[in-house]
A and B are shown apart, each in its own frame.
Chain A
Amino acid sequence: MGQRYAGIDIGSRTIELVVVDETDAIIESQERDTGFDPMAEAKGMIEKVSFDRIMATGYGRNLFEISFDAMTVTEIKAHARGARALFPDIQAIIDIGGQDSKAIALFDNGRVKKFEMNDRCAAGTGKFLEIMARTLGFSIEDFGPEALLAENSLNISSMCTVFAESEVTSLIAKGENRREIALGLHASVIRRAAGMINRVSTDGEIAFTGGVANNPCMATLLSEKLGRPIRVPEHPQRIGALGAALLAREAD
């Protein structure tokens, strides 16, 4: 049997593990919640698979590096590598994860040309959508599909999670339609994401990665807003781990 390469993405919400073979084919993948002890969770995951080399990414990468003597790479490079592997024509990536969001522009050869990340707060991230869904009484799975059913969008001006929550509460109190508020919230996150993308890249195909890409409303609004083709991978939250696995092979 040939060599096996693993990539592990230790994010704020979930941990993903992907193993590829020498032909870059995915032979194994796993996902679980980060929980309170990310290293214990990560250990539990890697014990179940076999691999020859592993590379870690995500905010927990440095802890993992110390605990398991692994190579590390930033989420930015990992997402760039993973997304380009799936979509060879993309010029940029928008990644919206649990605690941060980033826009990455690529050179034709796949290297990172430029990137931007959100400020230090949760504005415009998965966390923001999660809190807003809860405030509106939607499950996180239904949040996007319900928003897509709205006929109008209500304008939400606050991007700060705390302010937006009180803005939403006062809209509910005014008797506004929940779906329309939901659509407005999605649109506000997209405005910010589109702003980030526009600052790093102005044309070409875009890959949408990170857990938030599972939300169908986000992808729809993003392509409307940017007027550029948006490619969403089947498992958008795994792209970082995939990229790390591919980079582990390339480092060999």
Chain B
Amino acid sequence: MQITPLLNDGYAGEPAKRVLNYVQDHRQAGDPVVGIYCGYAPIELIQAMGIVPAVLCAFSKVPIAAAETVLPANLCPLIKSSYGFIIEGTCPFYAMSQAVIAETTCDGKKKMFELIADIKPTHVMDLPQVPDEAEARSNWKQMIVKLQGFLETHFDRQADEEKIEASLQAANRKNALMRRIFDYAARVPSVLHWKEMYDLSFLAIAATGQEMVPLLEPLPDILEQRVREGFHVGPPKAPRVLVTGCPVGGDATKIFNTIEVAGGVVVAPDACTGMKAFMGEFAENSGDPIGAMAERYLKIPCACMTPNERRLTDLSAMIGHFKPDAVIDFVLQACHAYNVESFKIGRHVEEVHGLPFLKIETDYSDADTEQLRTRIEALFESI
């Protein structure tokens, strides 16, 4: 069946090229570019200042060998890849960025940023690790204010409260639309393919609310049409899978591909590269837009937070909404935070939701795809 692509711009299946094009266009128009690595980077502030946030390359296995000449081998592939891209000079986004925003999320990243700090100006945001601690919100707000100061001096761009508030409100609309589109994956059967979600998320993280909203608004109609035409992703009875855990992109999408090869359908990619980026709302007209930003960002249930109970509540809500038949926790090798937390996630999924659970610990190589397939097929057999 012929289906209408969601973004008919010639970049289907090549989200990185689409975003590269987006960033290049802005750069030619004179906008400065700042590199980001993480879902905690407050993009709404960056965008309000007229600066383009570029998500830096971190998902290819190619530069890992170069990185391993300097970094310990027992480090997560995302960090090794990021660092390898930088020392090999192969990340176009890094090349275009005039500075990098870093966060103290995990030990590996924190120490990696120390190594790249002398290559390019790197602004480290000290991220609280106990989000429910009394001081967390004000500390994180201060970090965002400091970031604003760094961006002001570095790029000579300003944003008043009004601009920041407008940016937040536009982001709320963008995020709400994204969630509305994701809802088509929540249908049984799903009419939205994971590659389409992945394509959209890639662009929607970098682009502003103002830019994204007109792009996203027509999409529900296209998806409605799919429903009417009886289109669905995968066989109608295919096992529905929620994938939680570490970010997925580039070579790591082998997890999604393998799920498909094994006969499943990815209905909910819950990660910083997937739905997590579009969850929650910024409080509007609070009179303190930066505080509102701090509040919303601290609600991201990254495993670097402790105790990360919010991940369990959010996961439960997602399970209720997307109705998966199984949950896969995707853990990048040597990512201690997600790896240790996986124990809790598994227990929660099995005991509270009675769903089959599988933890996959892997890297970017293709070495284990056959083994992953066997394990995922066995998971589906248990449904």
**Which A residues are closer than 8 A to B by beta carbons?**
119, 157-158, 163-164, 166-167, 170, 191, 195, 198-199
Contacts and interface: CB of A to CB of B under 8 A. Distances in A.
A249 B366 CA distance: 52
A158 B69 contact: no
Contacts of A199: 69
Interface string B353-371: 0000000000001111011
B69 A157 contact: no
Interface in B220-238: none
Contacts of A119: 73
B61 interface: yes
B68 interface: yes
21 contacts: A119-B73, A157-B61, A157-B365, A157-B366, A157-B367, A158-B365, A158-B367, A163-B367, A163-B368, A164-B367, A166-B367, A166-B370, A166-B371, A167-B367, A170-B370, A191-B65, A195-B65, A195-B68, A195-B69, A198-B69, A199-B69
Contacts of A163: 367-368
Prevailing SS type, chain A contact patch? helix
A124 to B, nearest CB: 11
Given A157-B365, A158-B367, A195-B68, 8 more contacts: A119-B73, A157-B366, A164-B367, A166-B371, A167-B367, A195-B65, A198-B69, A199-B69
Interface residues of B, number: 11
Nearest to B62: A155
Nearest to B368: A163
Nearest to A173: B370
Nearest to A188: B65
A119 B65 CA distance: 16
Nearest to B65: A191
A195 B73 CA distance: 11
Nearest to B371: A166
Contacts of A191: 65
Interface in B366-383: 366-368, 370-371
Contacts of A166: 367, 370-371
Contacts of B368: 163
B63 to A, nearest CB: 13
Contacts of B371: 166
Contacts of B68: 195
Contacts of A198: 69
Nearest to B69: A195
Contacts of B65: 191, 195
A199 B370 CA distance: 34
A240 to B, nearest CB: 26
B310 to A, nearest CB: 35
A158 B368 CA distance: 9
Contacts of A164: 367
B326 to A, nearest CB: 25
A166 B65 CA distance: 21
A121 to B, nearest CB: 11
Contacts of B366: 157
A45 to B, nearest CB: 38
A158 B274 CA distance: 28
Nearest to B74: A119
A191 B68 CA distance: 10
A164 B65 CA distance: 16
Interface string B151-193: 0000000000000000000000000000000000000000000
Contacts of B370: 166, 170
B329 to A, nearest CB: 21
Contacts of B61: 157
A157 B367 CA distance: 6
Contacts of A195: 65, 68-69
A195 B69 CA distance: 5
Interface centre among A157, A164, A191, A195 (most CB of B within 10 A): A157
A167 B159 CA distance: 53
Nearest to B365: A157
Q: Which 9 A-B pairs have the closest CB atoms?
A: A157-B365, A158-B367, A195-B69, A167-B367, A157-B367, A170-B370, A198-B69, A191-B65, A163-B367
Contacts of B73: 119
Nearest to A156: B367
A166 B374 CA distance: 13
B190 to A, nearest CB: 30
Interface in B78-120: none
Contacts of A167: 367
A28 B61 CA distance: 49
Nearest to A196: B69
Nearest to A160: B367
A146 to B, nearest CB: 23
B117 to A, nearest CB: 21
Nearest to B370: A170
A176 to B, nearest CB: 13
Contacts of B365: 157-158
A159 to B, nearest CB: 9
A167 B372 CA distance: 12
A65 B354 CA distance: 63
A198 B65 CA distance: 12
Nearest to A170: B370
Interface string B188-203: 0000000000000000
A142 B366 CA distance: 28
A167 B365 CA distance: 11
Nearest to B61: A157
B206 to A, nearest CB: 30
A199 B66 CA distance: 11
